[in-house]
Amino acid sequence: MTKPFSLFLAMRYLRPKRTFLSLITVISILGVTLGIMVLILVISVMTGFEQELRRKVLGFDAHLVAGGETVMVDWQDQAGEIRKVEGVTGVAPFVQGPVLIEYLGRRMAPKIRAIDPEAENTVTTLKDFMVAGDLQLEGNDTVIGSALARILGVGVGDTITVYSPGNLEEIVDGINRLEEGTDRTRSAAELREMVLPTELTVTGIFESGRYLYDSEFLLVPLHIGQEIYGLGDGVHGLTIKTIHPYQAAVVRDAIHEALGSSLQIATWMDMNRELFEAIHMERNVMFFILLFIVIVAAFGIMNTLITVTVQKTREIGILKALGARTGQIIGVFVGQGIVVGIFGTLIGLTLGIWLVQYRNQVSQWLSGVMGIEIFPRSIYQFSEIPAEIVPSDIAIICASAFAICTVAAIIPAWFASRMDPVSALRYE
């Protein structure tokens, strides 16, 4: 089967020759290849970051968090009603708030998260985040975040002192009475009772992969949180697990129908909206910024075709004189742009997927060659560079690059087709 006239000439003009034009063509293909390769790598890595963060959030956070403006006193009854709602697989109580902790003279003001370990296992996977010790929360035990442990210099088996801020008003009143000299002996004794420090033994260290949690949280048994905040048998809220995390909003509405709207319920997406919106926005911005690499390569294609147009002016005149139609002349030059776009796209696609697959090996090699750490694990809290290839993203990248290359070829092709045969034949 014979090739179409336009494609035959396009391939003939692109045939490698020892000319400057061939070098420009190769550079154009390399530009498209580089743009697509970098786009695939960056978008896949950023998608991997987003998905890995989602997995970490869903492991450490519950799908739904229910609470009210006041302490939940009858939380057992509410938890029982919530368990009956379709789509709910687990419910656990919690107490959460700021405390003051001290260890060997070093003081911090993190937050405690008081939980019932048995109930919490039905909602989250905290055991998966343990990096030292065990998730043992009995008596006066505590499990502390890895970053907070590093700051305090705490290890498994150490004892930390926890002060409750819940009775600060009483402490301030006691200090005022001391300063006024009213019943000094009694006020001093009362003040010592108000402080009531709690000694907790560190039984484990967790690392969620999110610095906010690792530096600001320590887990304690539920009764410790209730004692520190004087809640009696009450709690601050309930954590809820659903069958599917992305259907959390549907389950939330079902709970509202069953228990009424007085209970405030937030989904894991609501609680982390800013984080994921920032990642999503950055991903889109990076796509458009890196797409300019392909646009620059398209200018190279345009430059190549303009050079071909100038060099082949007489040939264009002869073709026009022999009766070649405008569409056929356009097809010759657009065909060249399409061929360059196809080769650049295919090579870039292959190299991009290869780089994504071997990203960690390449990162280690670059670190060894350049003497710098390309991916600091202590900063990103990932053991390796995450990445996930999404077919729809790859299709958009390749289609966008191919369209840009084709559009870049149309402009010089149009001017070539508009040449006057007589003027073209006189050209030298």
- For residue 211, which amino acid is it? Y
Angstrom distance (rounded) from CA 260 to CA 135 = 35
pLDDT-derived band at 388, boundaries 50, 70, 90: confident
In this prediction, residues 274-279 reach a mean pLDDT of 77
pLDDT at 17 over 70: no
User: Which of 175-184, 206-215, 250-259 shows the lowest per-residue confidence on average (mean pLDDT)?
Assistant: 175-184
Q: Do 157 and 200 share a structural domain? A: yes
pLDDT at 151 over 80: yes
Q: Do 415 and 347 share a structural domain? A: yes
Q: Do 299 and 261 share a structural domain? A: no
Q: Determine the pLDDT at residue 223.
A: 87
Are 34 and 274 in contact, with CB atoms under 8 Å apart? Answer: no
Q: Classify 5 as helix, strand or coil.
A: helix
Nearest to residue 386, comparing CAs of 352, 366, 360?
360
Higher pLDDT, 256 or 310: 256
Last residue of a domain, one of 268, 294, 323: 268
Q: Do 107 and 228 share a structural domain? A: yes
Q: Do 80 and 162 share a structural domain? A: yes
Q: Do 212 and 128 share a structural domain? A: yes
pLDDT-derived band at 351, boundaries 50, 70, 90: very high
Task: For residue 10, give its domain range.
Answer: 5-54+276-426
Are 380 and 68 in contact, with CB atoms under 8 Å apart? Answer: no
**Percentage, residues of the chain above pLDDT 90:** 1
pLDDT at 1 over 50: no
Q: Determine the pLDDT at residue 99.
A: 85
Q: Classify 209 as helix, strand or coil.
A: coil
Angstrom distance (rounded) from CA 407 to CA 415 = 14
Per-residue pLDDT of 94-129, as tens digits, reads: 888 888 888 888 888 888 888 888 888 888 888 888
Beta bridge partners of 64: 240, 267
pLDDT at 428 over 60: no
Across 181-185, 269-273, 331-335, the highest mean pLDDT is recorded for 269-273
Q: Do 26 and 126 share a structural domain? A: no
Last residue of a domain, one of 224, 244, 268: 268
User: Which of 135-139, 194-198, 252-256 shows the lowest per-residue confidence on average (mean pLDDT)?
Assistant: 194-198
Q: Do 264 and 234 share a structural domain? A: yes
Q: Do 339 and 203 share a structural domain? A: no
pLDDT at 426 over 60: no
Q: Do 303 and 205 share a structural domain? A: no
- For residue 415, which amino acid is it? F
Are 363 and 375 in contact, with CB atoms under 8 Å apart? Answer: yes
Per-residue pLDDT of 214-269, as tens digits, reads: 888 888 898 888 888 888 888 888 888 888 888 888 888 888 888 776 778 888 88
pTM of the model: 0.65
Angstrom distance (rounded) from CA 251 to CA 270 = 14
Q: Do 296 and 238 share a structural domain? A: no
The DSSP output letter for 156 is T
Nearest to residue 85, comparing CAs of 305, 308, 252, 313?
252
Are 109 and 149 in contact, with CB atoms under 8 Å apart? Answer: no
Q: Determine the pLDDT at residue 324.
A: 64
Q: How many independent structural domains does the chain possess?
A: 2
> What separation in angstroms does the CA of 343 have from each of 15, 213, 403?
13, 48, 13
Per-residue pLDDT of 39-78, as tens digits, reads: 898 888 888 887 877 777 777 778 888 886 778 888 888 8
Buried b (16+ CB within 10 A) or exposed e, 156-189: eeeebebbbebbeeeeeebeebeeeeeeeeebee
Last residue of a domain, one of 222, 252, 268: 268
pLDDT-derived band at 350, boundaries 50, 70, 90: very high
Q: Do 225 and 258 share a structural domain? A: yes
Across 29-38, 259-268, 292-301, the highest mean pLDDT is recorded for 29-38
Alpha-helical runs (H) found in 109-260: 117-120, 146-152, 168-180, 184-195, 211-216, 222-228, 248-259
